[in-house]
Chains A and B, each alone.
Chain A
Amino acid sequence: MSTEPEPVSAANPAQPAAGSDDGYVRLRGLTKRFGEFTAVDAVSLDIRRGEIFCLLGGSGSGKTTLLRMLAGFEVPSAGRIEIDGVDMSAIPPYERPVNMMFQSYALFPHMSVERNVAFGLEQEGLSRADIRRQVGEILDIVKMGAFTARKPHQLSGGQRQRVALARALVKRPKLLLLDEPLAALDKKLREHTQFELINIQQRLGVTFVVVTHDQEEAMTLGTRLGVMNQGRIVQVGSPSDIYESPANRFVADFIGSVNMFAGEVREEGPQGLRIACAELGIVRTDRAVRCGPGSTVWTAIRPEKISIARRAPPAAGENAVRGTVREIAYMGDLSIYLVQVQSGTLLRVTLPNITRGRERPIARGEVVWLSWHGSSPVVLTE
């Protein structure tokens, strides 16, 4: 368990010093195996002081196991965790400067709101007056000051979530872990709570690590995201990095929707690539990717980066393809078009509904041209 930190990965050339703002939480080669199954596989990661770091992944990706190792509920099979320069390996959960907001909230059902929030402070042996004051302050911050005497079963889901947050925050942890913090709330409340969570985080300056399977939640909450798949972190970056420049096919496909097709590189130059693709015709990109002519790559284009028109674009030889509209889904703010191209594949295109009641909207069955800018396609080699 006390193995030396692994060599720095290529994506992270400047290794932050232990306890620095950039390396506030440092994971090195962190691994957890349950019998034959490796839940978390040699994860090395730096989390910055004061940021909201979102671990995003599907079920079984290892994100919850990673979080439970940070809390101390699971003992790593290998690797180490440092928080603010201190190795956590030998420190039990009840002595870690870490608090967790559980997915089920795990409020103590036999205690009032006030007693729930005071529980953590009571373990520190603070005076009654101090406890009362701090509990009052944090309950005011989460706007639950009027409900101190209620029991958890007398609260709504949103109120319970606030109490759970207050209880985890009242000890001013160095690190707050949030396990699917918004999963139990309905859609409207979720959106509202998201912004409030960011607000509170900025006010208190506590470092948050959020685990979620909901990419929308991760995008709005996170200053940075770590996308997990099969126990590994496949990409770390800002929400726009992850969305606009996915590192591989898994990330491109997992985050948002995407039209992604294999193609063969015809020309490779400093100005970009020309790729021949059965579904999209000739795709020209204006960004250079080192892959070698003749190699197979994947071209990914987000649905909102494709325009749809009745007339052919001026340079119809490349970055344009003709197809027939098969389905139109009107979503209010935007419409989704499923367009069948010559190869028979359906492409997904979204258009914002900028005007009210267009005169001659594109209808199902129409033949249309799809085109995109050279900056839109992402070329993926893995």
Chain B
Amino acid sequence: MRLSQAAGRRVVAGIPLLWLLLLFLIPFVIVFRISFAEVRLAIPPYTPLIDWRHGTPSLQLHWSAYSFLFTDSLYVSSYLYSLKVAAVSTLCCLLIGYPMAYAIAHAAPAWRPILLMLIVLPFWTSFLLRVYAWIGLLKNNGVINNVLLSFGIIHQPLALLQTDFAVYIGIVYSYLPFMILPLYTNLEKHDPALLEAAADLGARPLRAFVRVTLPQSLPGIIAGSLLVFIPAVGEYVIPTLLGRTDQLMIGRVLSDEFFENRDWPVASAVAILVLLLLVVPILLFQRMQRRELEAAR
């Protein structure tokens, strides 16, 4: 009985492990390896890792893909632009999502599941469809411009589409639930007696919020911010459909390298650098989750 239980546990833990190994680690190793190759016109379109041409095997490691990334300013500016877009979007999500999560956590218990469902409701429609809908809203003869024009607030259409503003709207709109849900989970656990204690000790409501609620919700803020920031850095669909054409985000650069230029080594190097860029926040996120788990025990 005990033996089969242990075996069962191993199977349960093993399945996701195998999944991650096959679908994440192995592809990663392949991408990592391609990033050290050179491009060539063949199938596959890159040089092999081990060269047998002279009868003896020789390891072929090329840094050219990486060094190339720093010779053309396109890559560095795309990286920085992606970080900026992700950071601004995360901040906007936090500023909008925190009051919403707070309101849901303080709503009557019967209302909370309904409000949470409304937050998740947009997921029932395709992500792509929802982003396309924003084009209809933002374009020159779109809904927003037409309404503003008909009320005489503006006299010629605003250029909303293909701006930073459109990208922020798209990302904040799409990722807001990922900010709200962890924040709600955190805020919902707060002991209301703590706010009463703060008031009792002379703290006005705003001060009590800053001194008691805000520091305690920090794990929720970090979790929500990372859940928005990490995917936003590599976001491809939203900037492609709504964003500027003169300044690309790194996800678009990566796909262009693969599919337009067919330069797999450079594309792989871009992917590896994005990963390195995100390793710090990802590790931070994992460490915090571990601490949360330990504190909950």
Contact = CB atoms under 8 A, between A and B. Distances in A.
Interface of A: 71-73, 92-95, 98-100, 102, 104, 106-110, 119-120, 123-124, 167-168, 171
Contacts of A99: 200-201
Interface in B200-222: 200-204, 207, 211-212, 215-216
A233 to B, nearest CB: 24
Contacts of B199: 72-73, 92-94
Given A104-B191, A108-B212, A110-B215, A171 B196 contact: no
Given A94-B202, A98-B200, A102-B197, 6 more contacts: A71-B196, A72-B200, A94-B201, A108-B194, A110-B215, A110-B216
B29 interface: no
A218 B193 CA distance: 24
A93 B200 contact: yes
Given A108-B212, A109-B216, A124 B197 contact: no
B198 interface: yes
Contacts of A110: 215-216
14 contacts: A71-B200, A73-B196, A73-B200, A93-B196, A100-B197, A102-B193, A106-B196, A106-B197, A108-B197, A108-B212, A119-B198, A123-B202, A123-B203, A167-B201
Nearest to A125: B202
A117 to B, nearest CB: 10
A120 B201 contact: yes
A116 B76 CA distance: 48
Contacts of A119: 198, 201, 203, 211
A98 B202 CA distance: 10
- Scoring B193, B196, B200, B204 by chain A CB atoms within 10 A of each residue's CB, the highest score goes to B200
Interface of B: 191, 193-194, 196-204, 207, 211-212, 215-216
Contact of A94 (B191, B203, B212, B215): B203
A34 to B, nearest CB: 15
A93 to B, nearest CB: 4
A124 B199 CA distance: 13
A120 B202 contact: yes
A108 B191 CA distance: 10
Contacts of B197: 100, 102, 106-108
Contacts of A71: 196, 200
Contacts, number: 59
**Residue of B197, B211, B216 most packed against chain A (CB within 10 A):** B197
B193 A104 contact: yes
A176 to B, nearest CB: 11
A104 B193 CA distance: 8
Nearest to A170: B201
Contacts of B203: 94, 119, 123
B280 to A, nearest CB: 24
A94 B292 CA distance: 32
Nearest to A153: B295
Contacts of B207: 123
A95 B205 CA distance: 12
A58 to B, nearest CB: 22
Contacts of B200: 71-73, 93-94, 98-100, 168
A253 B296 CA distance: 44
Nearest to B208: A94
A175 to B, nearest CB: 11
A171 B216 contact: no
Contacts of A102: 193, 196-197
Contact of A106 (B191, B211, B216): B191
A92 B207 CA distance: 14
Contacts of A73: 196, 199-200
B135 to A, nearest CB: 45
A231 B202 CA distance: 29
B222 to A, nearest CB: 14
B202 A106 contact: no
A106 B204 contact: no
Contacts of A94: 199-204
A111 to B, nearest CB: 8
A106 B193 contact: yes
A120 B202 CA distance: 6
Given A93-B196, A110-B215, A171 B201 contact: yes
Contacts of A92: 199
A274 B64 CA distance: 114
A124 B196 contact: no
Contacts of B211: 108, 119
Contacts of A167: 201
A375 B141 CA distance: 98
A298 to B, nearest CB: 41
Nearest to A179: B193
User: Which residue, of A92, A100, A106, has the highest number of chain B Cβ atoms within 10 A?
Assistant: A106
A107 B200 CA distance: 12
Sorted from nearest, which 8 A-B pairs have the closest CB atoms? Answer: A123-B202, A120-B201, A106-B197, A106-B193, A93-B199, A94-B199, A100-B200, A110-B215
Interface centre among B193, B198, B201, B207, by most chain A C-beta atoms within 10 angstroms, is B201
Nearest to B201: A120
Nearest to B192: A106
Nearest to A177: B200
Contacts of A124: 202
A168 B246 CA distance: 62
B194 to A, nearest CB: 5
A54 B109 CA distance: 34
B218 to A, nearest CB: 8
A298 B200 CA distance: 45
A171 to B, nearest CB: 7
Nearest to A164: B197
Nearest to B207: A123
A98 B200 CA distance: 7
A171 B203 CA distance: 13
A152 to B, nearest CB: 11
A124 B198 CA distance: 13
Q: Which of A94, A120, A167 counts the most chain B CB atoms within 10 A?
A: A94
B215 to A, nearest CB: 5
